[in-house]
Amino acid sequence: MNEQTILVTGGTGFIGSNLANALAVDNDVLALDDGYLGAAENLDDSVEYVEASVLDDDLPTEGVDVVFHLAALSSYKMHEENPTKGARVNVEGFVNTVEQARNDGCDTVVYATTSSIYGNQTEPSPETMPVSANTGYEASKLARERYAEYFHSHYGMSMAGMRFFSVYQGYGGAEAHKGEYANLIAQFADDIANGTSPVIYGDGTQTRDFTHVDDVVRGLIDAAEYRLNGIYNLGTGESYDLNTLVEKLNAELGTNVEPTYVENPIPDSVYVKDTMADTTKMAEATGWEPEVSFEEGLRRVCAQY
């Protein structure tokens, strides 16, 4: 991107810090975070850290050219523990951030939504397919998409909603501090490397479209550069089941650690068993395509061990 002033909310988190650090090579970057899921040490020295909440009245939006809004309570469990807090952070925090940015002259926002609203899909999911909210987390992300429509229709803002599919990186990246909320690949790799049996919900046949964070960061930056509006998938179009994931991690690490299977604590009625992205729309809009293969991604994750 040409040199700009950029605000990344959730900026010390896993995806946010990777994005902020990448953008800071050519831009002035503010990483805003309340520290709940993020850690300031994830940021390069060239990124300015602002400790604040997206619910605050005085966000640092003056002079900002682009907002990347990634701040969220980002799991089913967090929302079930406190649905009101989930709605406040994910919906009110989104509206509050975009409105302050708009009032200060920013008209380009790229924000995180979710692929789990597609439900169980073993075929690629296009952005046009019907979606539903079966959890508080999904409801909050769908609400963001509707508010983004409003900001675009009413104020002419560019509002690009990026539906992420299982984004990963290893603990050598920005995930180690998150513990049980870290991405599955990072957790499993760390368990196996340390001789601990990774815990799988159910029988391990559930599939995920695992997308490396480097590809997601490129997609987010492309969305801003092209001033996209609407909804776009960021995934790979390939899915792997968790049993295969464990096999491949063992092969990469030279180990033979068996998983432990437990009953799924998430109700079947809301658990998303299978995901797979259709990334045609993003490819046609920007030329973006995933570049990190599953095998290469696992090599990167396991390299630290």
Task: Tell me phi and psi for residue 47, to 5 degrees.
Answer: -95, 135
Parallel, antiparallel, or unpaired for β 207-208 and 158-164?
A: unpaired
pLDDT tens by residue, 167-209: 999 998 777 777 777 899 999 999 999 999 999 999 999 999 9
Among 76, 118, 137, 171, the active-site one is 137
**Structural domain boundaries in the chain:** 5-165+210-236+278-286, 171-206+239-274+294-302
CA 51/CA 114 separation, integer angstroms: 25
Dmax of the chain from CA atoms?
57
The domain 5-165+210-236+278-286 having CATH identifier 3.40.50.720: the answer here is yes
CA 269 to chain centre: 23
Helices (H), the chain: 14-23, 76-81, 83-87, 93-103, 136-155, 184-193, 213-225, 242-253, 280-286, 294-302
**CATH superfamily of the domain spanning 171-206+239-274+294-302:** UDP-galactose 4-epimerase, domain 1 (3.90.25.10)
pLDDT tens by residue, 242-263: 999 999 999 999 999 999 999 9
Quote the pTM value: 0.96
Parallel, antiparallel, or unpaired for β 207-208 and 240-241?
A: antiparallel
Our answer to whether residue 201 is catalytic in this structure is no
pLDDT at 141 over 90: yes
pLDDT of residue 179: 76
